[in-house]
Amino acid sequence: MATLREISKKIGISIATISRVLNGADNVSEETRKKVLKALKEYDYQPPQVAKRKLHHLIGILVPTLWGNHYNLIAEGIETELTANGYDSFLSSTSQLINKEKEILEQFFSRRVDGIIICTTKNDDEHIEKLIKTAIPVVAVDRKDSNIKVDSVGIDNYQSAYNGIKYLYKMGHRKILFVQASRNTYSTYEREQAVKDFAKRKNLELTVLEGNFEFEGGYYPIKEYLEKHGKNFTAIFFSNDQNALGGMRALYESGLSIPDDVSVIGFDDDRYSKFLYPPLTTIKQPRFEMGEMAAKLIIERIERKGSKVKRRIILPTELIKRSSVKQI
Amino acid sequence: MATLREISKKIGISIATISRVLNGADNVSEETRKKVLKALKEYDYQPPQVAKRKLHHLIGILVPTLWGNHYNLIAEGIETELTANGYDSFLSSTSQLINKEKEILEQFFSRRVDGIIICTTKNDDEHIEKLIKTAIPVVAVDRKDSNIKVDSVGIDNYQSAYNGIKYLYKMGHRKILFVQASRNTYSTYEREQAVKDFAKRKNLELTVLEGNFEFEGGYYPIKEYLEKHGKNFTAIFFSNDQNALGGMRALYESGLSIPDDVSVIGFDDDRYSKFLYPPLTTIKQPRFEMGEMAAKLIIERIERKGSKVKRRIILPTELIKRSSVKQI
How far apart, in whole angstroms, are the C-alpha atoms of residue A247 and residue A236?
9
Work out how many CB contacts closer than 8 A connect A with B.
171
Residues 6+ apart with CB under 8 A from A145: A125, A128, A152, A312
pLDDT of B160 > 80? The answer is yes
The answer to whether B95 contacts A75, with C-beta atoms less than 8 Å apart, is no
Cβ-based burial of B56 (10 A; exposed 0-12, middle 13-18, buried ≥19): middle
Q: Is the pLDDT of residue B137 over 60?
A: yes
pLDDT, tens only, A270-312: 999 999 999 999 999 999 999 999 999 999 989 877 677 888 8
Flag whether pLDDT at B106 surpasses 80.
no
Residue A166 burial class via C-beta count within 10 angstroms: exposed 0-12, middle 13-18, buried 19 and up: middle
Disruptive mutation site among B50, B81, B219, B269 for chain A (greatest number of A CBs within 10 Å): B50
Task: Please report, as a single letter, which amino acid is at residue B204.
Answer: L
pLDDT digits (tens, 9 = 90+) for A17-53: 877 777 666 677 878 888 888 887 788 776 554 334 5
Mean pLDDT value of segment A199-213:
95
Ordered by where they begin, the domains of chain B are 4-42 (no CATH), 58-155+287-315 (3.40.50.2300), 157-285 (3.40.50.2300)
pLDDT for the residue A50:
37
Mean pLDDT of A229-237: 98
Best to test chain A binding among B277, B280, B322, B324 (most A CBs inside 10 Å): B277
Question: Does B215 contact A275 at a Cβ distance shorter than 8 Å?
Answer: yes
Nearest CA to CA, how far is A242 from chain B (Å)? 8
Mean pLDDT of B206-221: 95
Are the Cβ atoms of B40 and A58 closer than 8 angstroms? no
Distance of CA B261 to the CA centre of its chain: 36
Q: What is the pLDDT of residues A145-196, one digit of tens each?
A: 666 678 899 999 999 999 999 999 999 999 999 999 877 777 888 999 999 9
Which residues in chain B have their CB less than 8 angstroms from residue A54's CB?
Answer: 41
On the question of pLDDT at B123 being above 70, the answer is: no
Residues of chain B in contact with residue A22, where contact means CB-CB under 8 angstroms, are: 4, 47-48, 50
B48 contacts A22? CB cut-off 8 A: yes
> What is the percent of chain B where pLDDT is above 70?
86
- Pick the range with the lowest mean pLDDT from A266-280, A310-324, B16-30, B176-190: B16-30
Give the C-alpha distances (Å, rounded to integers) separating A215 from A9, A258, B84.
Answer: 63, 18, 28
**Residue B51 with chain A: CB contacts under 8 Å:** 37, 41
Q: Do B96 and A107 touch (CB under 8 A)?
A: no
Q: Report the C-alpha gap between B253 and A322 in whole angstroms.
A: 14
Chain A residues with CB-CB distance to B80 below 8 A: 96
Please tell me the distance from the alpha carbon of residue B56 to that of residue B288, in angstroms, as a whole number.
Answer: 25
Look up residue B146 and give its DSSP letter: T
What ipTM did this prediction achieve?
0.74
CB neighbour list of residue A191: distance below 8 Å, 6 or more residues apart: A157, A158, A160, A161, A180, A239, A267
Chain A residue with the nearest C-alpha to that of B52: A24
CA distance B238 to B218: 7
What DSSP string describes B238-302? Answer: ESSHHHHHHHHHHHHHTT--TTTT-EEE-SB--TTGGGSSSPPBEEE--HHHHHHHHHHHHHHHH
In terms of average pLDDT, the best of A126-130, A142-146, B151-155 is B151-155
B45-71 pLDDT per residue, tens: 765 543 345 778 889 888 888 777 888
Higher-confidence residue of B289 and B23: namely B289
Q: Are strands B58-63 and A312-315 parallel, antiparallel or unpaired?
A: unpaired
Nearest to B83 among A50, A88, A100 (CB): A100
Instruction: Nearest by CB to B93, from A24, A79, A111: name it.
Output: A79
Of the two residues B135 and A280, the one the predictor is more confident about is A280
Long-range contacts from A123-130, C-beta under 8 angstroms, 24+ separation:
A123/A184, A123/A186, A125/A149, A127/A101, A127/A102, A130/A105
Please report, for chain B, how many H helices and E strands are present, in that order: 11, 12
Neighbours of A184 (CB within 10 A): 11
Residue A86 has pLDDT above 80, yes or no: yes
Q: Comparing A45 with A121, which gets the higher pLDDT?
A: A45
CB A80 within 8 A of CB A292: yes
Find which of B275, B276, B322 to mutate to test the A interface (most A CBs within 10 Å of its CB).
B275
Inter-chain contact A88–B95, Cβ cutoff 8 Å? no
Min mean pLDDT across B111-125, B186-200, B246-260, B285-299 is at B111-125
Q: Which of A15, A25, A51 sits opposite B37 (nearest CB)?
A: A51
Residue of chain B nearest A242, judged by CA positions: B272
Write down the pLDDT at residue B102: 67
Residue from A13, A49, A72, A119 whose CB has the most chain B CBs within 10 Å, to mutate: A72
**Cis preceding-peptide flag for B278 (omega within 30 of 0):** yes
Tell me which chain B residues have a C-beta less than 8 angstroms from the C-beta of A50: 22, 37, 40-41, 45-47
> In sequence order, what are the residues at sequence separation of 6 or more whose Cβ sits closer than 8 angstroms to the Cβ of residue B123?
B144, B184, B186
Check residue A153 and give its pLDDT.
Answer: 93
Q: Which residue has the higher pLDDT, B261 or B138?
A: B261
Q: If you measure CA to CA, which chain B residue comes closest to A53?
A: B41
CA distance linking residue B283 with residue A227, whole number of Å = 32
| CA A275 to each of CA A269, B218, B234, B302: distance values in angstroms, whole numbers, following the listed order | 11, 10, 22, 45
Say what angle helices B241-253 and B216-229 make with each other, to 10 degrees.
Answer: 40
Segment B277-291 shows an average pLDDT of: 96
Least confident of A222-236, B115-129, B138-152: B115-129
Q: Give residue B282's pLDDT band: very low, low, confident or very high (50, 70, 90).
A: very high
pLDDT at residue A132, as a whole number: 66
For A127-147, what is the mean pLDDT?
73
Question: What residues of chain B lie within 8 A of the CB of A242, using their CB?
Answer: 272
User: Does the pLDDT at position A140 exceed 50?
Assistant: yes
Is residue B173's pLDDT more than 60?
Answer: yes
CA distance A217 to A68: 13
Distance of alpha carbon B81 from alpha carbon A312, whole angstroms: 36
